[in-house]
Amino acid sequence: MAKHDHDHSGGSNLSDVELRVRALETILVEKGYVETAALDRIVELYETKIGPHIGAQVVAKAWSDSGFRQALLEDASKAVATLAHQVGNVGEHLIAVENTPQLHNMVVCTLCSCYPTDVLGLPPAWYKSFAYRSRAVKEPRAVLADFGVALPVETEIRVWDSTAETRYLVVPMRPAGTEDWSETQLAKLVTRDSMIGAGLAKKPSEVA
Amino acid sequence: MDGVHDMGGMDGFGKVEPEPNEPVFHHPWEGRVLAMSRAIGVFRAWTIDTSRYAIELMAPSFYLTRSYYEKWFLRNQNLLIERGLIDADEVAAGRALRPAKNLTRGPFTLADVEKVTKRGSYSRPAPAPAQFKVGDRVRTKNIHPRTHTRLPRYARGRVGVVERLHGSHIFPDSVASGKGEDPQWLYTVRFDAQELWGADTDPKLKVSIEAFEPYLEHV
pLDDT value for A13: 56
Which residues from B are below 8 Å from A157, CB to CB?
202, 204-206
pLDDT at A85: 86
Task: Give the fold, CATH level 3, of A52-207.
Answer: Nitrile Hydratase; Chain A (3.90.330)
Domain membership of residue B100 (yes or no) is: yes
- Give A208's contacts (C-beta < 8 A, 6+ positions apart): none
Pair (B103, B156) in one structural domain? no
Q: Which residue of A has its CA nearest to B28?
A: A18
Residue B90, domain extent? 28-117
The domain segmentation of chain A, as residue ranges, is: 14-48, 52-207
- Average pLDDT, rounded, for chain B: 96
Give B52's contacts in chain A (Cβ within 8 Å).
Answer: 111-112
In a domain? residue B6: no
How many Å lie between the alpha carbon of A62 and the closest alpha carbon of chain B? 22
B40 lies in the same domain as B100? yes
Instruction: Judge if B111 and B54 occupy the same domain.
Output: yes
Shared domain for B146 and B193, answered yes or no, is: yes
Distance CA A49, CA A117 (A): 12
Domain co-membership, B75 together with B150: no
Q: Is residue B123 part of a domain?
A: no
pLDDT (tens digit per residue) in B96-154: 999 998 778 899 999 999 888 888 899 999 999 999 999 999 999 999 999 999 999 99
Burial code of A37-46, b = ≥16 C-beta within 10 A, e = fewer?
A: ebbebbbebb
Q: Is residue B63 part of a domain?
A: yes
Coil, helix or strand at residue A102: coil
Does residue B124 belong to any structural domain of this protein? no
The CATH number given to whatever domain includes residue B207 is: 2.30.30.50
Is residue B128 one of the residues assigned to a domain? no
Minimal Cβ distance to B112: which of A26, A38, A92: A38
Nearby residues of B50 by Cβ (< 8 Å), 6 or more positions away: B79, B175, B176
* A125 pLDDT higher than 90: yes
Query: What integer is the mean pLDDT of A78-91?
Result: 87
Partner residues linked to A97 by β-bridges: A170
Q: Determine, yes or no, domain membership for B19.
A: no
**Can you tell me the mean pLDDT for A110-129?**
97
In a domain, B9, yes or no: no
- Which residues lie closer than 8 Å to A61 by C-beta, 6 or more apart? A68, A72, A83, A183
Min Cα distance A84 → chain B (Å) is 12
pLDDT at A88: 79
In sequence order, the β-bridge partners of residue A34 are B108
Sequence-separated (6 or more) residues with CB below 8 Å from residue A93:
A77, A165, A166, A167, B119, B121, B122, B123, B166
Q: What's the mean per-residue pLDDT of chain A?
A: 93
